[in-house]
Amino acid sequence: MNDYRAILIELLTAIDYNKDKSAFVEEFIKNLQLQSLNNLLLTLPQDKLDNMKQQLLSSSNDAQNSSKIIRSLFSEAQINSSIENASREAVTSYIESIRDVLSPEQEKKVLAIIEKYNSTA
C-alpha cells in the first residue's frame, strides 16, 4: 500500500518546496481530519447535532470522550468514506492551485508522479 505522507512529500519535492515539508504534511492531515468531520456533521439532522453539542459541553474534552461521541453518531464505513472524499477534494484543489504556476520542469515532475501512482493504483 502507498504511504500517503510519502506521496505528499514527493509532490512537494517536485515543485521545489524548500520550506518544512513535514510541517506541510502535518497541517494537511489536521485540515483533512477537520474537513472529514465537517462533512460528516453536515449529514446529521439538527436534533442529533444539538444533542452532540450538549454532550460536548457537559463532558470532558479528552480523546476517549471524543471517540465515544464520534462512534455513537457514525459508522466506520461512513467515516472512511468521508476521509476519502475529503482527501480527494483536498488534493484536487491543491493541484488546481499550483498547476498554472508550475515551471515546465516542475510540471514534468508532477506529471511523472501522477503517472507513476496511476499505474500502481
Partner 1 sequence: MENPETRPPEESKENPAETAAVNYMRQWKEKVHAGFDHIMGYPDRVINRALDRIPDTTADKIHQKMDKIPTAAPALLSSGLGSAIFYEASRGSLSGTATSSAVTAGILTSFFYARSYFRERQINKDKDKGLNNE
Does 55 bind partner 1 (CB under 8 A)? Our answer is no
- For residues 31 and 89, what is the distance between their CA atoms, to the nearest angstrom? 12
Does 17 bind partner 1 (CB under 8 A)? Our answer is yes
Residue with cell 499505474: 119
Surface-to-core class of residue 1, CB atoms within 10 Å of its CB (0-12 exposed, 13-18 middle, 19+ buried)? exposed
Binding mask 91-120 for partner 1 (x = CB under 8 A): xxxxx-xxx-xxx--xx--xx-xxx-xx--
Does 47 bind partner 1 (CB under 8 A)? Our answer is no
Does 43 bind partner 1 (CB under 8 A)? Our answer is no
Q: Residue 15 in contact with residue 110, Cβ under 8 Å?
A: yes
- In whole angstroms, the minimum distance from the beta carbon of 10 to partner 1 comes to 11
Contact set for partner 1, span 57-96 (CB under 8 A): 57, 61-63, 66-67, 69-71, 74, 76, 79-95
